[in-house]
């Protein structure tokens, strides 16, 4: 972890300390309290009280950090060393109330809002998808209505479950209703599988979302899909919310509501790289539930998805300087 007076403090050097040694931070980066300020912070949000099916995403951040030990500092596909370009740090986990969803959402909004106010771009590790709503509230306060690309097997624009309005199946309906979103620049990517009724889709369109299904990605190809998405987004402030169940269960078995017919991890990583140049101001990767994982398949995928998100943001910040 050597750095010059002005150079960012980087990951632990794997030639000096084995990758499997020591307490885990994301990609063996320094903790935020070791560097004082970060341009980009990885933040764990271990909260899964909003799930409708298999619980366990509260253990996602710890699993992702462990799986991220093998990441290396240079991204060849984008010719970028993200941890040398800007200061990236692991901000640890938020202490979120597991028994009170309203309090949990308020905690997340406030604490992520403080990070953003410090000039830090948050990249969050869930946790279930409920956390996207307070994250979007905090993003909206800083940036105004947000363009959103929502990678997911599901729409997550349902209205309520058992009378509960704040769940992992409802964050994007609430966000649209609350005026947090730029209705000209919203898309789900990778959706598939059975719905409750055809009205799910008409309601979703009314809320402002376009849809690129997982079959669309397969048929049209990654580059064509990315081109149409980036054209629609332009230079709007963009939030990327990635439910790991956008991946096929073969690529991400460790998640709460798996659906057959999803993206490969390669397709998702290539889609992200093809978004290079967008004005990405925040992101999350959610719904990693390690109890259902095998051989860390899901956690490894999530750690690489986060690496590409960090790289996209580092490149944007580098261009801005």
Write out the binding residues. 129, 152, 154, 156, 243, 245
**Closest CB to Mn ion among residues 129, 236:** 129
Window 95-134: residues binding Mn ion (CB under 5 A): 129
Distance (Å, whole) CA 174 – CA 183: 13
Cβ-Cβ contacts under 8 Å for 155 (sequence gap 6 or more): 172, 188, 191, 195, 200, 201, 204, 209, 211
Q: Work out whether 152 is an interface residue with Mn ion (CB under 5 A).
A: yes
Options 76-84, 101-109, 218-226, 239-247: segment touching Mn ion (CB under 5 A): 239-247
Options 31-39, 61-69, 106-114, 150-158: segment touching Mn ion (CB under 5 A): 150-158
Structure tokens at 138: 């905090």
**Closest CB to Mn ion among residues 83, 158:** 158
Shortest distance in whole angstroms from residue 292 CB to Mn ion: 15
What residues are designated binding site for Mn(2+)?
129, 152, 154, 156, 243, 245
Q: Which residue from 75, 92, 118, 88 is spatially nearest to 8, judged by alpha carbons? A: 88
Options 58-66, 118-126, 216-224, 236-244: segment touching Mn ion (CB under 5 A): 236-244
Q: Work out whether 204 is an interface residue with Mn ion (CB under 5 A).
A: no
The answer to whether 54 and 103 have CB atoms below 8 angstroms apart is no
Q: Work out whether 243 is an interface residue with Mn ion (CB under 5 A).
A: yes
Distance (Å, whole) CA 286 – CA 283: 10
Residue 306 CA, distance from chain mean position: 7
Distance (Å, whole) CA 148 – CA 212: 13
Find the angle CA(99)-CA(101)-CA(103) to the nearest 5 degrees: 90
Q: How many chain residues touch Mn ion (CB under 5 A)?
A: 4
Shortest distance in whole angstroms from residue 82 CB to Mn ion: 26
Residues at the site binding Mn ion, with contacts judged by CB under 5 A? 129, 152, 156, 243
């Amino acid at each position: 972890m050597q750095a010059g007076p002005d150079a960012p403090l980087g990951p632990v050097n794997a030639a000096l300390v084995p990758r499997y040694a020591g307490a885990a931070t994301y990609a063996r980066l320094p903790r935020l309290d070791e560097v004082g300020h970060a341009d980009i912070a990885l933040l764990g949000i271990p909260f899964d009280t909003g799930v409708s099916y298999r619980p366990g995403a509260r253990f996602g951040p710890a699993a992702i950090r462990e799986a991220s030990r093998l990441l290396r500092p240079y991204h060849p596909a984008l010719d970028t060393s993200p941890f040398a370009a800007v200061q990236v740090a692991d901000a640890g986990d938020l202490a979120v109330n597991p028994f009170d969803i309203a309090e949990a959402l308020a905690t997340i909004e406030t604490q992520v809002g403080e990070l953003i106010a410090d000039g830090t771009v948050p990249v969050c590790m869930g946790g279930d998808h409920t956390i996207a709503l307070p994250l979007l509230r905090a993003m909206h306060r800083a940036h105004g209505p947000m363009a959103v690309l929502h990678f997911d097997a599901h729409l997550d624009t349902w209205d309520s479950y058992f009378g509960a309005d704040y769940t992992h199946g409802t964050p994007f309906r609430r966000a649209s209703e609350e005026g947090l979103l730029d209705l000209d620049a919203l898309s789900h990517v990778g959706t598939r599988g059975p719905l409750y009724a055809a009205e799910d889709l008409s309601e979703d369109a009314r809320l402002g979302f376009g849809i690129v299904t997982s079959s669309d990605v397969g048929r049209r190809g990654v580059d064509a899909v990315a081109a149409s998405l980036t054209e629609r987004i332009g230079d709007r402030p963009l939030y990327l919310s990635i439910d790991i169940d956008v991946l096929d269960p073969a690529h991400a078995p460790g998640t709460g509501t798996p659906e057959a017919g999803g993206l490969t991890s390669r397709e998702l990583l290539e889609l992200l790289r093809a978004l290079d140049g967008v004005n990405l101001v925040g992101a999350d990767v959610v719904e990693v539930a390690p109890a259902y994982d095998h051989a860390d398949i899901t956690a490894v995928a999530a750690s690489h998805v986060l690496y590409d998100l960090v790289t996209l943001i580092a490149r944007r910040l580098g261009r801005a300087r």
